[in-house]
Amino acid sequence: MSTAQTLTPAELNNRKLLGTFLRTRRESLDPNRLGLPRMRQRRTPGLRREEVAQLADVGVTWYTWLEQGRDIKASTKMLTAIASALQCNDVETQHLFSLAGHTLPSMRVTAACCKLAGHNQQMLDAIQLPAIIETPRFDILGYNQAWCALMGVDLAQIAPEDRNCIWLAFNHAGWRNVMTDWDEVMPQMVAMFRGQMGEHLGDPH
């Protein structure tokens, strides 16, 4: 299950964020609404790891390791099953795949799902590390204050329609100054943006 590769600091950070996201979603679900057997006493809110693994048809140990941020492989099929078990909407599923280092094929983020659920903002606020939730087009749906401090921008003062990582990189001096590898990163982001736009030409935004 494990691999011997050395993870970069960014990959290590994403694994921690993935674990926090999985745990927050798991603890937010009502077992009774999912048809799970009633238990006399639960030590933790929401679902247990064993129940998520059962719903997703994956191994308990494997899921536990994934939530703990260990360096294990997760296929698209497994991540899709976990997203379904955790009742993730489209934006949450995209966020899960992104943290796991995967690209979700044919993901359509429409106007109806471009609103951040309250529990996701609570999750971001609880994370001490810089964190955002963004769409495949780099629109920022949610963020925490640690991220604002890191990037040198108060996103609360930025109009919602301008909260886009690419737009800010080109138009906000503080944001650009933080990106020491701007000349290398921006061509990659623009290329990714162009690739994603092919699946969103019919979207209203």
pLDDT tens sequence across 105-145: 654 444 444 567 677 888 888 888 888 888 877 889 889 99
**The pLDDT value given to residue 67:** 94
Mean pLDDT, residues 94-103 taken together: 86
Residue whose pair of structure tokens reads 């990659």 in the numeric block: 188
Which architecture, in CATH terms, is 9-100?
Answer: Orthogonal Bundle (1.10)
User: CATH 1.10.260.40: which residues of the chain?
Assistant: 9-100
Is the model's pTM score more than 0.95? no
| CA-based torsion, 105, 109, 110, 113: positive or negative | positive
Q: Which residues of 135-166 are buried (b: 16+ CB within 10 A; e: fewer)?
A: bbbbbbbbbbebbbeebebebeebeeeebbbe
Task: Note the pLDDT tens digit of each residue in 72-89.
Answer: 888 988 999 999 889 888
Q: What is the pLDDT of residue 50?
A: 92
CA angle, 88 then 89 then 91, to 5°: 110
